[in-house]
Structure 1
């Protein structure tokens, strides 16, 4: 439906609560958990017992205009699921035995307080580290909890190698232009599309490394692109597979995974060579264009076509179309981050937008900050750290982008190495005594080299996890588990980009608590000097932060006076108006005051200041001998409508009914070559390890590429080791290394590895052949002694160490 500025008061009153028959309707925002990045406005319907029974999209919301994905519509299934965590639990047996004892919240807090005090005294607060998953507002909660309550400087994305989820792009944007950017779909103004007199429909939308209608990532709703298409926008989609949106595109560039930087440089070679650049923007507002123009000469189209496996004519035509269209915009995604050169790749794409002048213009790539300028992210509560503590962040001494705060988090790979060795990156003692893990399931999803992470956790004395369900990581590694509330059970404010939105609690679930409530309760115990006495509940915390931020409204006013949503005054061309710099001068928040093609900070740090391409660490080009045994390019993390990372895998849900097993996509000709039938369980193996998924034919793939799904585990299987819900059996992260980052510390080769495939058969599908058994009951894939004892493993006892498949070269497990 078209957005109407007037509320349909007959169906949806402009207020917070109302009755519809026997149900109470609550206008609020859906924000995970369970998952998604968006924050769509919804109507939650609860019965007289406070049970969530139905979810609808709010058609009067300018943000999503009533549109919802299946994860929102099926929310009652997960909210009311019988396997949800209901009470705090402490481990009663050994890790991995799945033996638990129910405890009260006070007992849980007593355990945490005792551990925190002991670790602070023994090795300092820096021996306590917090780690976050993705979704919901845990970034603000975990930061305030870590800095104010625990007193340590380290928090990060939970073992995500190279912080490869938006942070490579974000850090790059800050050094190039001093802000983040996003494609302009009129989403930051309440009068959407043609109702906004200033917005212009993009003539060209480049979709780079994302499938927006399916994943809705980075607080960007894929439906917005569909609305622009209805109004005339044409697309260029850069993706190894023909997605639905790629099939609707004017140009689809099927590049080899991991070669995005080369493609962007090749497109710039065309645009600069044919003088299709925006001279006015370049001359007035940019720095380093001449150097960039010289660099792109190294990337002629024929060379780039060979690197990327894309026809040269397509590269030329797509580049011309993007440069000649006015305005043009780029919406990029996770694939940009997930190569070793994630930051240079983002740099190349940022330069592509800059040379065409599509920066902060209507319908271009617009510069944005947190809604209302509120800091509800990784810096929340940082003022409570003791002097000198920030400098102790793991990774700071190795990576300047970390050291100088271009994203306020520690480096994930450095934390893993500290867990393993007790040393920091300089070799100085740095014990890790406690991990606080919130909203993450790292051996299933977020961490690469999942077996390595599993082993490293044995060296961490105390691990506390806050989550929705009992996950493989909880069973294998946790000592204390805290149940957290879901979206409909929370009072909070969502501030990741405009508009500001409220979440209003309309139900509860046993003893599950809001993330904010856990933080507040611990704060009054551990660091009462950091907390106002009156901040007792999440609403108090939200009003405190709004007060500190001088926002001019309370949470209650946001809900009752503004129907739960406030837009700020968004303005275009902020660099012309002095709105980006604290000194009020025109320009960008960079050392030169300009949009930097040549990054002056990189130059001063001895890092290549221009974008460049480098082959992935393993590829047909960089490791030809390895490619003889593992000839296929492996890309991971294909998204689906049903799931959000490792969430929604519970049995007896619509999601699992529609999507019961993990699939990997393979070209039919490739499948025939290796004896794989469609629908057949298939081993995917490389020098790191192996996993198995079900073959799904996809003739839009290059025959040299396979694409796997991520985040799989099987809650219906046995929890205790050696099963662990079958977590390693289907996990492509078994095949991806940690600690292979570029000089920036950002980026990792997650979507550009190598592998081979072969059918699962009775001869190679014995229980002892399964990756989960190999990892949990033996010494990884080496078939050595069990890590649990000095006795020979079951496999060795029965098979005398002989293997039915190739032993990986990397036996560091």
Structure 2
């Protein structure tokens, strides 16, 4: 273990400014990368922010989302006091009235106790979002405050990170493996234990824009400058693809066929690591036989990429020492996603690039309680009561969340178990939910709904009765951990610099509610720091052997886990201390006994997307374009930050990318407003003609709404006009309940009229 090597304290005076060293997380939203920041405050006002050059991971660089923090903090759209309205006034923006925190808490306590007495505590559902800090506290809020196991992430098939995490659990028995970018070392790339990857295979991911799940995207640029070569699998010409040695412009939704073909080449050409496979892998012969059923020629036809490029890319990855694989959201967002994830893990394993310097690193058994909030809850006592556990046990028991599609089923019943909802970091209607109008109608049936957020959102406006204002990371003490702690490499301090209004932190709200509802569990914690020290940091040890505390992070700025490679050789991945992996066989399972036990095939297989030119040719005649949603942007994190002028100036409108040949075919031009439509619904976006976009395929942004438009129903900031999730079908998911076709839809595209107020909005945001 080692602390950071900062030369200045966490706060200091610089002329008129008090400077505070901190790390970003949320809100405003961003995945847990922890961009190092210096906050400059004068007379209690945050005036400017700069990157922290001494932060070992980000080294002074910052996403534009972080640079816009002052505009975010002082935005006129922010809500700074609790507000309530009557249930029969939902959707009426004028009905909100300011209340005190005590009155807000009294309303929640009254309704929790009423629901618990009348229907049981399981009638309360906690709805959580993705990535933002509060997503980490959702399980704790649900289980420890409301005594309900019904924690709900509302995206069909839990299609964000969940399939990859589950597949890793089944195959490796460990947390998600990540590219080794030296985040575990205070001196970063200069540590002699680290080795630069010779090749990085980037599959369905754009890390430079997304900084996903704790990975610092700019490290890709650093390694590229050092000489690392890229192989990129993506239908779009991303920054990474433009610099790749090999770019495979795959047809969206066909990745599992390509992954099987990669494994076929590596094994048939004897490019695999015999020693690692023999010692540490289970089921190699069966796996090898299965991938022989997908030849590079067949994969080339399915995926619409040249056969010779598939072979060349597989050879290049297998021969590189070391090599790393970055697998992204495109793996999750298809019903066949678990199988693609299986192939990714197998490629890491058979080439010996698991937990090695410059390969894919792994978390250990104990991640310090930094994950999803279950370490102090014993969820097994109520997991059998979770919604969806009978229909999709593999998902519910692995993820320990309810199944989102079955939650919608339950909400729509006349005698639904659910009667109260608590929304934390969850703008469901604008972001994760497919068929969002259906979700809105179902959520509106609940008797009492509470939301914690920064600004009024479409979801809060549509279905909520009480609004609790959350503060930003500039206004709270907290920590940030890469990969939510799952890879256990680095923890940084978030230090309070300012106070704005009456907004409170997610933990403060949870702690104060918990003290009122279940004092036996909460009243001993008088501050957020006491709770964090006792429940989150306590299992991590400082260099002198005592438990890590928030004060240590404030004193030193950051903490780096004493990382060990090849933990499987040292008994560090198993609770019994034996060498190997925490799977039923003790090895990486290329023949997955867990998948077999859950009722799926134990070996990877390929299935066409539910609708595609090959699987549904008649449907494709009416809806001929393949649509991949969720394209990442520089400016926004999912549905957040649309109200920030700087960011709207950079990226003012929702975009959908199209190849020039397709644009000509449909008589469209760059900058046109267009409708995307299929039999589920439609949405309006602005067209961006991109020569690097795959012909026959579209790539759209997501999470859009217009904060400057009418808040009240039915408008709800015109969220339904621009919500691409209108096109995503219900419960079109994989066999075990994972993955939905967010990135392999079919649609038609045609010209739309611009909105009538477009000139006014240009004036609002762009002068």
Superposed pair shares fold, TM > 0.5: yes
Structure 2 equivalent of residue 487 of structure 1: 473
Structure 2 equivalent of residue 252 of structure 1: 247
Aligned pair partner of 1:22 in 5, 16, 21: 16
Contact 2:204/2:328 (8 A) holds in 1: yes
Contact 2:434/2:725 (8 A) holds in 1: yes
Shift of 1:156: 2.7
- The CA distance in 1 between the partners of 2:504 and 2:375, in whole Å, is 20
Q: Are residue 162 (structure 1) and residue 157 (structure 2) matched?
A: yes
In the alignment of these two chains, the number of paired residues is: 742
Structure 2 equivalent of residue 450 of structure 1: 436
- The CA distance in 2 between the partners of 1:372 and 1:443, in whole Å, is 33
Change (3 A) 1:279 1:370: closer
What are the Cα deviations for residues 688-737 of structure 1, in whole angstroms up to 9, with x where unaligned? 11111111101112221011110111111111122111101111100001
Q: Which moved more, 1:394-403 or 1:26-35?
A: 394-403
Aligned pair partner of 2:111 in 97, 107, 115: 115
Structure 2: gaps spanning 5 or more residues: 758-767
Q: Are residue 622 (structure 1) and residue 615 (structure 2) matched?
A: yes
Structure 1 equivalent of residue 763 of structure 2: none
Structure 1 equivalent of residue 760 of structure 2: none
- The CA distance in 2 between the partners of 1:516 and 1:394, in whole Å, is 26
Q: Are residue 561 (structure 1) and residue 552 (structure 2) matched?
A: no
Q: Are residue 418 (structure 1) and residue 410 (structure 2) matched?
A: yes
TM-score of the superposition, structure 2-length normalised? 0.94
Q: Are residue 310 (structure 1) and residue 305 (structure 2) matched?
A: yes
Q: Kindly indicate whether structure 1 or structure 2 has the higher relative contact order, using CA contacts under 8 Å at least 6 residues apart.
A: 2
Counterparts of 1:115-514 in structure 2 under 5 Å? 115-157=111-153, 159-179=154-174, 180-193=176-189, 195-369=190-364, 373-383=368-378, 388-403=381-396, 405-421=397-413, 430-495=416-481, 496-497=484-485, 498-514=489-505
Structure 1: gaps spanning 5 or more residues: 8-12, 423-428, 768-813
Change (3 A) 1:489 1:105: same
SS at match of 2:474: helix
Contact 2:364/2:572 (8 A) holds in 1: no
- The CA distance in 1 between the partners of 2:499 and 2:58, in whole Å, is 26
Shift of 1:175: 1.1
Say what the alpha-carbon RMSD is for the aligned residues.
1.8
Structure 2 equivalent of residue 572 of structure 1: 565
Shift of 1:371: 8.1
Change (3 A) 1:73 1:550: closer
Contact 1:149/1:522 (8 A) holds in 2: yes
Change (3 A) 1:599 1:367: same
Shift of 1:398: 1.9
Q: Are residue 714 (structure 1) and residue 706 (structure 2) matched?
A: yes
Q: Are residue 83 (structure 1) and residue 77 (structure 2) matched?
A: yes
- The CA distance in 1 between the partners of 2:269 and 2:554, in whole Å, is 56
- The CA distance in 1 between the partners of 2:105 and 2:135, in whole Å, is 21
TM-score of the superposition, structure 1-length normalised? 0.89
Shift of 1:137: 2.5
- The CA distance in 1 between the partners of 2:653 and 2:366, in whole Å, is 39
Change (3 A) 1:661 1:275: same
SS at match of 1:609: coil
Structure 2 equivalent of residue 605 of structure 1: 598
Structure 1 equivalent of residue 762 of structure 2: none
- The CA distance in 2 between the partners of 1:547 and 1:380, in whole Å, is 11
Contact 2:24/2:37 (8 A) holds in 1: yes
Aligned pair partner of 1:757 in 743, 749, 753: 749
Structure 1 equivalent of residue 96 of structure 2: 100
What are the Cα deviations for residues 771-808 of structure 1, in whole angstroms up to 9, with x where unaligned? xxxxxxxxxxxxxxxxxxxxxxxxxxxxxxxxxxxxxx
Shift of 1:309: 0.9
